[in-house]
């Protein structure tokens, strides 16, 4: 990976650089930075050559590098040291923080804030419905332990959103398998209902686990499912119908929700509350 000036200093002419780029043997990874491999991590490495020393990837970008990027986005998020100003670069969000990042790690050649820092920063600034899926996935991916998150959030005392972060860390669970399952669980908790059990296994009469529910209340035999686009596959649809029929025959009361339902939280909470308060 080379800066444009380094290529010229090494003996290449401007025309030779253009020729190498047109031939696909050299890629323009960032403004003024060239390399042979054009992929996301190479472009990130090139970008960091344009940023002040001590800058690290953080927030959404850091979470993605640590394998718990539950929030999609095209922009690159970086943290610059306190008191350091960085040039404006298109597609880059610069976070100037009062808290230094003394224990940065390197991932594929990219300086990055530790996983706990990325998780807590996101839990502070995102809305609750987006923050809990990040924390759940962080635990599921093994990037952090809950105790480490609690230690990190204590270090952020007094900063905006730290109270929300602490509340959500207490609720975080590694079991949900998608973002919407985490959001459905939080919706019920925020609605004043008992926390449902994620990925609840239902056994047959011999005690052998046979079906797994996204969420449920085992003692009341209430199951809650989130159906995404994958459930529209004909084979999956047939399996889902067979499973729901079996559960109904064995005393389980089920509710199935979609992405549209998540925009109607009061309806979901009222529906589940009515099942919880109804005679078993």
**Per-residue pLDDT tens for 163-214?**
999 999 999 999 999 999 999 999 999 999 999 999 999 999 889 999 999 9
Task: Choose between 222 and 18: higher pLDDT.
Answer: 222
pTM of the model: 0.84
Q: How far is CA 263 from CA 50, 180, 187, 276, in A?
A: 42, 11, 10, 22
Contacts of 36 (CB under 8 A, 6+ apart): 25, 26, 27
Tell me: the pLDDT tens digits for 84-134?
A: 887 888 889 999 888 989 899 999 889 999 999 999 999 999 999 999 999
């Amino acid at each position: 990976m080379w800066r444009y000036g380094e290529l010229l200093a090494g003996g290449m002419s401007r025309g030779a650089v253009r020729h190498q780029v047109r031939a696909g043997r050299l890629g323009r990874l960032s403004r003024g930075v060239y390399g042979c491999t054009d992929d996301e991590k190479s472009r990130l490495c090139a970008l960091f050559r344009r940023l002040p020393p001590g800058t690290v990837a953080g927030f959404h970008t850091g979470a993605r590098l640590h394998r718990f990027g539950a929030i999609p986005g095209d922009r690159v998020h970086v943290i610059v040291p306190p008191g350091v100003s960085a040039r404006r670069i298109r597609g880059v969000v610069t976070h100037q923080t009062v808290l230094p990042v003394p224990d940065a790690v390197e991932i594929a050649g990219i300086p990055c804030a530790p996983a706990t820092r990325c998780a807590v920063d996101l839990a502070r600034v995102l809305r609750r419905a987006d923050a809990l899926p990040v924390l759940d996935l962080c635990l599921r991916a093994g990037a952090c332990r809950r105790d480490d998150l609690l230690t990190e959030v204590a270090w952020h005392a007094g900063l905006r959103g730290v109270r929300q972060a602490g509340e959500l860390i207490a609720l975080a669970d590694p079991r949900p398998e998608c973002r919407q399952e985490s959001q459905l669980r939080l919706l019920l908790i925020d609605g004043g209902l008992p926390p449902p059990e994620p990925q609840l296994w239902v056994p047959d009469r011999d005690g052998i686990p046979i079906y797994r529910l996204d969420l449920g209340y085992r003692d009341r035999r209430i199951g809650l499912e989130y159906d995404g686009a994958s459930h529209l596959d004909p084979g999956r649809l047939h399996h889902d119908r067979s499973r729901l029929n079996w559960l109904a025959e064995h005393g389980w009361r089920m509710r199935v929700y979609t992405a549209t339902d998540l925009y109607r939280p009061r309806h979901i909470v009222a529906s589940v509350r009515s099942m919880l308060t109804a005679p078993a």
